[in-house]
Structures are given as structure tokens and as C-alpha cells.
Amino acid sequence: MLETLRERLLSVQQDFTSGYEDTWAALHRRAKDCASAGELVDSEVVMLSAHWEKKKTSLVELQEQLQQLPALIADLESMTANLTHLEASFEEVENNLLHLEDLCGQCELERCKHMQSQQLENYKKNKRKELETFKAELDAEHAQKVLEMEHTQQMKLKERQKFFEEAFQQDMEQYLSTGYLQIAERREPIGSMSSMEVNVDMLEQMDLMDISDQEALDVFLNSGGEENTV
């Protein structure tokens, strides 16, 4: 009976041990499965944590950006005002450039007019100099011709004076020798001034009788006076 009890105890012990081993093996397997599942969950949690950390960072950045929106709007409004001011400045600069272009055109026109006026003035000066030179040449030529003509007239006047002096001397000698005058028609020397118009001023300047002629005339008049007294 003891053996039977012992056998039963051994059988129960074996059964218990076998069940315990099976349970332990099952627990061990489940523990491994739980560990694998825990590792998987842990990786998923890490991924989710990183994802939501990124989301959190993005949300923080978005919040910061949203907080900066009023300043950004103010900056945009200031930039818009500056752009409007710049647009007005650009229009003013464009108008000034157009005005400057007109002024440059006027300056170029005035410069061309000044150059043409200067060229015309230089042309007038050159022509005036040429005219003065030509006039001086004409005056010199005229003066030379006048001098030549005066010289010719003086020579002819001297010839005429000489002719009348000789005739007067002959008349005086005839009167002194014969006591009377025989007026005969005398021909003037060829080329004398009888057929030419003599300048009155030149005749006034010419002395028709020198000192010897005056003395001869005095002798003639004195002799005539003595004969009348006799």
C-alpha cells in the first residue's frame, strides 16, 4: 500500500512537475512574446514620441511665428508705404530725367547755335579782313595813280610855266629892244595842259613866277613908266 501510495505520489509529483514545466515553458514563451511585443511597442512609442516631438517643435515654431505676425504685418505695411513713396520718387525722378533730357536738347541746340554764330562771326571777320585788305590795296593803287597823275600834271605845269616864261622873256626883250610888243599867236607845247582840266588846288599851290620873273616884270614896268614920262 505504501508502494502504491509512493507510486501515486511519484506519479502525482511527475504529473505536477510535468504540468509545472509545461506551465513554466508556456510562461517563458509568453514572457518572450511579451518582451518582443514590449520591444515593438517601445519602438512604436519611441517613433510616436519622436513624431510628436517634431509636431510639438513645429507647433512651437508656428506659435512663435503667429506671435510674430503683428510685427510682420506692420513691416509689410511699412514696406507698402515705402514702396508707394518709392513709386512717387521714381515718377519724380522720371519727370526730372525727362526735364533733364529737354535741357540737354536745349543745351545742344544752344551749343550748335553758338558754334554756328561763332563760325558766322569768324566768317565775317575773315571777310572783313579780306575787304580791308582789298580796300587797302585799292587805296594804295589809287594813291599811286593819284601820285602818278599829280606828278604828270606837275611836269606838264612846269612845261607850261617854262613855255610862258620863255614867251614872256621874249616879249620883254622885244619890248626893250623895239619899244613895242608884237602879240603873236603862240602854239603851246604839245602835251601841255591847255586841253586838259587842271586841278585848281594844284594851280594855287604852284608858283607860276619865281623871283627872277618878278624882277624882270618890275624892270619892264619901270621902263614903260619912264617912256610914258618922256
Question: Which residue bears the cell 594813291?
Answer: 143
Would you place residue 32 in the very low, low, confident or very high pLDDT band (cuts 50, 70, 90)? confident
Q: What angle do CA 160, 164, 169 make, to 5 degrees?
A: 150
* Residue 104 reports pLDDT greater than 80: yes
Is residue 206 within 8 A of residue 157, CB to CB? The reply is yes
Between these two residues, 19 and 35, which has the higher pLDDT value? 35
Q: In this predicted structure, which of 52-56, 140-144, 172-176 has the lowest mean pLDDT?
A: 172-176
pLDDT at 79 over 50: yes
Task: Give the pLDDT band of residue 215 (cuts 50, 70, 90).
Answer: low
pLDDT at residue 169, as a whole number: 86
Query: Average of pLDDT values for 106-129?
Result: 93
The phi, psi pair for 55, rounded to 5°, reads -60, -40
The average pLDDT across 121-141 equals 92
The better pLDDT of the pair 223, 171 is held by: 171
Q: Which cell numbers in the block locate residue 2?
A: 505504501
Q: Exposed, middle or buried by CB within 10 Å (0-12, 13-18, 19+), for 157? A: buried
Q: Tell me the three-class secondary structure of 65-101, residue by residue.
A: HHHHHHHHHHHHHHHHHHHHHHHHHHHHHHHHHHHHH
Rounded CA separation 167/175 (Å): 12
The conformation of residue 192, written as its DSSP 8-state character, comes to -
Is residue 88 predicted with pLDDT exceeding 70?
yes
- Extents of the domains making up the chain: 162-229
Q: What is the mean pLDDT of the chain?
A: 79
* Four-CA torsion 64, 67, 70, 76, nearest 10 degrees: 10
213 has a pLDDT exceeding 80: no
The answer to whether the CB of 170 falls within 8 A of the CB of 137 is: no
Least Cα distance to 169 among 206, 208, 213, 207 occurs for 213
The predicted pLDDT at position 29 comes to: 85
Q: What is this structure's pTM?
A: 0.35
pLDDT at 136: 92
> Distance between CA 212 and CA 214 in Å, rounded?
5
Question: What do you get for the CA distance between the two ends of the chain, in Å?
Answer: 251
Banded pLDDT at 176 (limits 50, 70, 90): confident
